[in-house]
Amino acid sequence: MPAREFAFKLGLTEDQGRELAMYLNSLPQEEILFGLRFAYSRYTAATGGYLMPGRKSMIKAETHLLSPEQARWRLNNWKTMIRTYREKGYSYPTISRIKKQLQKISGKK
C-alpha cells in the first residue's frame, strides 16, 4: 500500500511541539494509530458521560476523607448505606470492598 502524507496544523506550545515530534519520529505507525484510537474512544466516552471509573477509584472516592467516627456511623447504618450504594450503581462486590475499607478506617478490624 502506498504511503500517504498528512499535513495538519495544531496550536501547540514549543514544548508540546517537541514532544509531539518526538512521539511521531520514534513510534511506529501502528502504535500511533492505536494510541489515537484509544484516546478518541476515551474522549468520546468521557464527553458522553459513560466513562466508568475503576472499582478502586470508586472505593477511594467513598472512603478517602472519612474520619473514624464517620466510618463507624456508616457501619452502624449499613443497611441504609447498601441502599445508597446500590442507587449509585455499585455492585455487591464493590460494596463489600467499601465495607472492608470502612472497617479498617473505624479501627474495628
User: CA 23, CA 9: separation in Å to the nearest integer?
Assistant: 16
Structural domain harbouring 77: 55-106
Whether 2 is in a domain gets the answer: no
Residues 63, 88: one domain? yes
Q: Which of 61, 60, 78, 75 is nearest to 106 (CA)?
A: 75
Q: Looking at the 3D structure of the chain, how many domains does it have?
A: 2
User: CA 29, CA 34: separation in Å to the nearest integer?
Assistant: 9
Q: Is the pTM of this model over 0.85?
A: no
Whether 3 is in a domain gets the answer: no
- Show the cell assigned to 4: 500517504
Residues, the chain, total?
Answer: 109
Residues 29, 69: one domain? no
Residues 63, 95: one domain? yes
Question: What tens digit of pLDDT does each residue of 14-53 get?
Answer: 999 999 999 999 999 999 999 999 999 888 887 876 666 6
Residue type present at position 67? S
Report yes or no: 62 and 98 within 8 Å, Cβ to Cβ: yes
Residues 43, 86: one domain? no
Residues 30, 61: one domain? no
